[in-house]
A and B are shown apart, each in its own frame.
Chain A
Amino acid sequence: MTGSAGTPNSPYADLDSTAFWRTAVADRHPHDMEELYRPKYKLKRSDSIATAGSCFAQEIGWFLRRAGIKVVDTEAIPPTAWTPDLTQYGFGMFSARYGNIYTPRELLQCWLEAIGEFTPAEPVWERDGRYYDAFRPGVEPNGMASPEAVVESRRRHLRRMVEGYSGASVFLFTFGMTETWEHAASGTVYQTAPGTIAGDFDADTFRLNNLTFNDCFNDFMMFRESLKSVNPDVRFIVTVSPGQNLVTASGNHVLVASTQQKAVLRAVAGQLADDCDDVDYFPSYDMVALSTTRGFFYRPNARQAHQSGVDFVMKTFFDAHGIEIEPRAHDWVEDVHNDDEIVCEEALLEAFA
């Protein structure tokens, strides 16, 4: 049996060239793959984008600012007061000063706490007489003087987070990890393992939770539904960080564990985009991590994306959205965006290697 044009009647017959590995990948230079990303909707410069996620989301945020797109920042430093050291205090990284949010459970928990639907366990950690916000211990590198100050600072922070998310037209989240540390009795999860930046690890109190596909998918869907209840028009862009995990507490080899985590998160991101019209998947992970680029977008440690990889990924992103990145001389963003200044609490775990 043949089709009307005499070609074999196959569901693959009418697919365009991007559907075939040879024409889409093998015959093309990795820098020149067409339509690698087809946005469900085009970003406009009038959009305001709220961002959260792992370290890689910081990179995306910097590029969005460079492109002249408004990135929601509810705890912003006035440009006249900016100094690069402030990145170490969580400023200018995301839409509020929450530091990296590595898992969708942290995102959901933080949001629910912000809207008054969740009360976390052990919200303040101590080290050397200073007190730290257990859910963002890195944003005050030297802690604060009292637990009360930490709690009050967090109350104001979460209020601003709600304001920012409620007014955003797009919410961009980068999935980073599935492994998270939780309070065994309550299920409260934390950004870092107790004892890394502050607090003390007690195996009877805290435990590892390696989130499954269903955990991650359901957590993000719950977050999405909750956010849409206060911001019905918000759309979502999800990505997966191409950075491999620095360490695992799963018992597996770190490479095996990292592969599993990225596979889960990649599947979750894809599933979210497949199921939800308002969720778009941007394949940053695919562009950097897969064999097509032969690993040359990674730094020598084969774990972190090299700046050239980030540049390539973001160029693809903006090209697909029809947005040109205009370099701005003497802009404070340029001043801040230094490859070494991306803040990653997870990197502190290197000290245990």
Chain B
Amino acid sequence: MRHICVIGDSSTAALKAGWAEIAANHQGTRLTFFASPGESLRTLELSGRCLITNDDGVAASFAMTSGGLSVIDLDDYDEIWIAGLGVTPASSVEVYADFRSEEHVNLGDDQVLVSQQAFDLMVKGRIRNSAAVALARRLREVVGTVQIISRPLPCEDIVSDDPAWAAAVGDDASSLVDSFGRGVREVADNTVPVYTQPAVVSASPLTTKRDYSTDAIALDLVTKSPDADLWHMNSKFGVEVLREILPSHGESSEKSALAPAPCGCSSLCSPAMLQHPASPFADYLKEARRRRDQARSTWVVMANVTCPRAVEMVQYVASARRMFVLWSTPNAGEVQLPTWCQLHQWSPGERGQEDAAQQVSSMCDTRAADIVVDCNARSDTYAALSHLVEKSGRGYLAITESSPASEWWRLSAELCLDMATHQIGRRDVIMDDRHIWATWAPGMPRADFPILGDLRSDMIDTFAPAGSAG
């Protein structure tokens, strides 16, 4: 039984109501909610391994939402989720009300006009100063797994109520979401992962479909929010968010039969273990992230990706400002990619390696690429891409799986790219470490990948999960 503690503001009500509807389908998981309105959770203090509050109102609210508990004993939980508490893409819009970046489409007239860097710093400030990040930083010192679930975006009706929202949603939504993403990467990602609401509930990048705010409820799960309340959501919203998050934490998905670790090998495969302070990966990840945050304007060429989230994740992990995506799937046009991605169809392997290499050369100047990511690696594409990397003299090739939209994939990609970016391992070819390979390609013919034989023995000794295939 995995026991998850959810600490949050009033937006937690939707999660709690959603959980009530799907808990029966998740027998291996238990969620306990500790919620209190607004910023009141800034009163929480760590006392030993307990979170306590001296605010009677917060204590009473905790007791109501948790089923009688007013103190959070961290040892009772496997994971801590922080819901809302100021982390939301809406932060960008709140800055947008008073400031505009020169890169925005709608420059307004009354707002202070600044560079994109200055605008991003303000959004970063909103995230940095949030109660969620403050709480997460304290918790990360004492617990292994902490994550933030961003506050719901407002109902789409907000565009008729608020000029700033109307302008933002109408003209600058993508830019504002990107600002939030960069801010999260610089602030929260050093502490905890941040999950934003799934696309299925969103009316736009900055709003939620009306259907999910109708009959929104309060923390007592009884009181209905007023019709004019555009910021709180209903149980359907909670269900969709939990469906998005739970599979990525080792929970069986209701929508997919994909297991997070298909090889089913050791417990080292679990994301929680990877991030646990005792994990041999923990220090490495911390250092890699620190270095990554210093990197800017990485150019990534990504080939054979089959999942749009994989593109987003690589962009996120590699701090990529330019991406060139070589798409081999027939439905590439249906996938929503960031506008700054250049998307090209290609057909590797049909006419041999040289032809594949020629295709890439004709489509993009890989001499400028910092990282080449070969997803779903096959011998022919691997050979073509590594040939180009070799020619570039400065690029690094990462190989990874791209399919399941899971936390597990994110971690494997992150490890690969950190290695690629920071030259850990071989210069020309960076293999996802033995652990990742063993996890994701247990059936892959090793002979197809001569580089596997070149893996550093110390990495194999250190990171190979027990029982993994050799």
Contact = CB atoms under 8 A, between A and B. Distances in A.
B115 A81 contact: no
Given A149-B113, A156-B113, A160-B112, A82 B129 contact: yes
Contact of B118 (A79, A89, A145, A152): A89
B365 interface: no
Contact of A85 (B91, B94, B110, B121): B121
Contacts of B112: 75, 97, 153, 156-157, 160
A143 interface: yes
- Residue picked from B86, B94, B123, B128, most chain A C-beta under 10 Å: B128
B128 A83 contact: yes
Interface in A149-195: 149, 152-153, 156-157, 160
A81 B121 CA distance: 8
A129 interface: no
Contacts of B109: 156
A209 interface: no
Contact of B102 (A85, A145, A157): A145
Given A81-B123, A152-B107, A146 B115 contact: no
A95 to B, nearest CB: 13
Contacts of B123: 81
A85 B86 CA distance: 20
Contacts of A157: 112
Nearest to A152: B113
B111 A143 contact: no
A222 to B, nearest CB: 28
B113 A86 contact: no
Contacts of A140: 114-115, 117-118
Interface string B89-123: 00100110010001100010111111101100111
Contact of B115 (A77, A79, A143): A143
Contacts of B111: 156
B184 to A, nearest CB: 14
Nearest to A335: B129
Nearest to A82: B125
Interface string A261-286: 00000000000000000000000000
A2 interface: no
A86 B125 contact: yes
Contacts of A153: 102, 112-114
B126 interface: yes
Interface string A63-84: 0000000000001011111110
Nearest to A91: B118
Interface residues of B, number: 25
Interface string B216-255: 0000000000000000000000000000000000000000
B172 to A, nearest CB: 15
Contacts of B103: 145
A86 B122 contact: yes
A35 to B, nearest CB: 43
Nearest to B129: A80
A155 to B, nearest CB: 9
Nearest to B91: A81
B124 interface: yes
A81 B126 contact: yes
A144 interface: yes
A278 B98 CA distance: 35
Given A143-B115, A149-B113, A160-B112, A78 B98 contact: yes
A80 B114 contact: no
Contacts of B129: 79-83
Interface in A232-263: none
A204 B111 CA distance: 38
Contacts of A89: 114-115, 117-118, 121
Nearest to B42: A330
Given A140-B114, A142-B115, A83 B125 contact: yes
Contacts of B113: 149, 152-153, 156
A96 B111 CA distance: 13
B318 to A, nearest CB: 21
Contacts of A97: 112
A352 to B, nearest CB: 26
A86 B114 CA distance: 11
Interface of A: 75, 77-83, 85-86, 89, 91, 97, 140-146, 149, 152-153, 156-157, 160
Given A81-B122, A149-B113, 18 more contacts: A75-B112, A77-B125, A78-B94, A78-B95, A80-B125, A80-B129, A81-B123, A81-B129, A82-B125, A83-B122, A86-B118, A86-B122, A97-B112, A140-B114, A140-B115, A152-B113, A156-B110, A156-B113
Interface of B: 86, 91, 94-95, 98, 102-103, 107, 109-115, 117-118, 121-126, 128-129
23 contacts: A80-B86, A80-B125, A81-B123, A81-B129, A82-B125, A83-B121, A83-B122, A83-B125, A83-B129, A85-B121, A89-B118, A140-B114, A140-B117, A141-B117, A142-B117, A145-B102, A145-B115, A152-B113, A156-B109, A156-B111, A156-B112, A157-B112, A160-B112
